[in-house]
Structure 1
Amino acid sequence: MPKDAPALDAGIADSEALEALLAASRAMVGIAARSLADIDPDVTLPQYRALIVLAARGPQRVADISAELQVVASTGTRMCDRLVRKGLARRSRPTSDRRVVKLTLTAAGRRLVNKVTESRRKQLAAVVAATADVWHPAVAPALRAFAAASGEVPESEWWLGYPSLDEEFEAPA
């Protein structure tokens, strides 16, 4: 066996993993798009992703949301303006520094995130049930590691301090 055989095998395995992940990501995007369209067809996937950033990380400056979504600042600003107009987010200023304006989820934004997440959970549960015979015990930890490596915050660790925000933040003047 050639001395570079393990590297070759690893390359083939990596290629297979990459192709499988590409196919799975297309399926996941489809599930996400259907879940969102069923709940609120007027919210785009990028707008929903901004809501997820707010749900996972708490109040954020528009610049921080733009950086997280890897969009230019003007695109992030327009996206956040639309979320504010739709009543899904609101601008607020921390009482500790009135120069800073942050975006916060509204109750309607939280409800949307929760409903879409529940819809996705149901659709994914059906897919998992339909493919139960091929799931290996290592799949779940591998997927969690994949999500962590891509910067996703686990849902169980999302920021949960919504009600206390009104004490620290106030509407911009």
Structure 2
Amino acid sequence: MHASRGLLGVIARSVAEALDEVSLPQLRVLVLLCSAGPLRQGAVAEHLGVHPSTFSRNAERLVAGGWVRRADDPQRRHGVRLEVTEQGRALVERVSARRRDAIAEVLARVPQERRRAMADMFEEFSLAAGEPDPRDMQTLAL
């Protein structure tokens, strides 16, 4: 539990500035769209485990804020997908960079001979938790 508090602290600090611009659920949408690419609105809601009507309000706010845009779905005649804008991608990249920097600062305080074991342990933990392998993600290695 002690380690989880440390990780949560790193995560909280990395997203703090972004939360001045978007809510945490909206940031999750941006991260998802950056990593998965354009998705139908219903698919985003499903990925996040929320009701489509609940997500609809967040989608409207993200579109109005210029974080995502709606685009025709080439696979569905009347379908629409959400895709992240450059503004949205830049926000996710800033959060990711802050997180990487914060993790690097923490790891710099770990003896060199133990860093590889820590990295392996975190990789195994991520896979056991159901996170996708970073090599399978399209962008950002989030």
Which TM-score applies when normalising by structure 1? 0.68
CA RMSD, 1 decimal: 2.3
> How far apart in 1 are the matches of 2:113 and 2:24?
30
User: Are 2:72 and 1:87 equivalent residues in the alignment?
Assistant: no
Match of 2:129 in 1: 150
Paired residue secondary structure (2:39): coil
What does 1:47-86 correspond to in 2, within 5 Å?
Answer: 47-86=26-65
Pair 28,70 (structure 1): closer, same or farther in 2 beyond 3 Å? farther
Q: Could you tell me how far apart the structure 1 residues matched to 2:80 and 2:8 are?
A: 31
What amino acid maps onto 2:114 in structure 1?
A: W
- Take 2:88 and 2:133, find their aligned partners in 1: how far apart are those partners? 19
User: CA separation in 2, counterparts of 1:81 and 1:67?
Assistant: 17
CA distance in structure 2 between the aligned counterparts of 1:29 and 1:85, rounded to whole angstroms:
30
**Count of residues paired in the alignment:** 139
- For the 8 Å contact 1:94–1:101, the answer to whether it is kept is yes
Paired residue type of 2:15: L
Q: Is the 8 A contact 1:52 1:113 kept in 2?
A: yes
**1:73 Cα deviation after fit:** 1.7
Gaps of 5+ in 1: 1-18, 161-173
Change (3 A) 1:155 1:137: closer
Segments of structure 2 that go 5 or more residues without pairing to the other structure are none
Change beyond 3 A, Cα 1:154–1:38: farther
Change in 2 beyond 3 A, CA 1:136/1:33: closer
Secondary structure of the structure 1 residue equivalent to 2:70: strand
Residue 78 of structure 1, CA deviation:
1.6
User: Could you tell me whether the CA contact under 8 Å between 1:56 and 1:153 is conserved in 2?
Assistant: no
Aligned-residue identity in percent: 35
* Structure with more contact order per residue of length (Cα contacts < 8 Å, sep ≥ 6): 2
Structure 1 pair 136/121, CA: closer, same or farther in 2 (3 Å)? closer
Cα separation, 2, equivalents of 1:85 and 1:26: 35
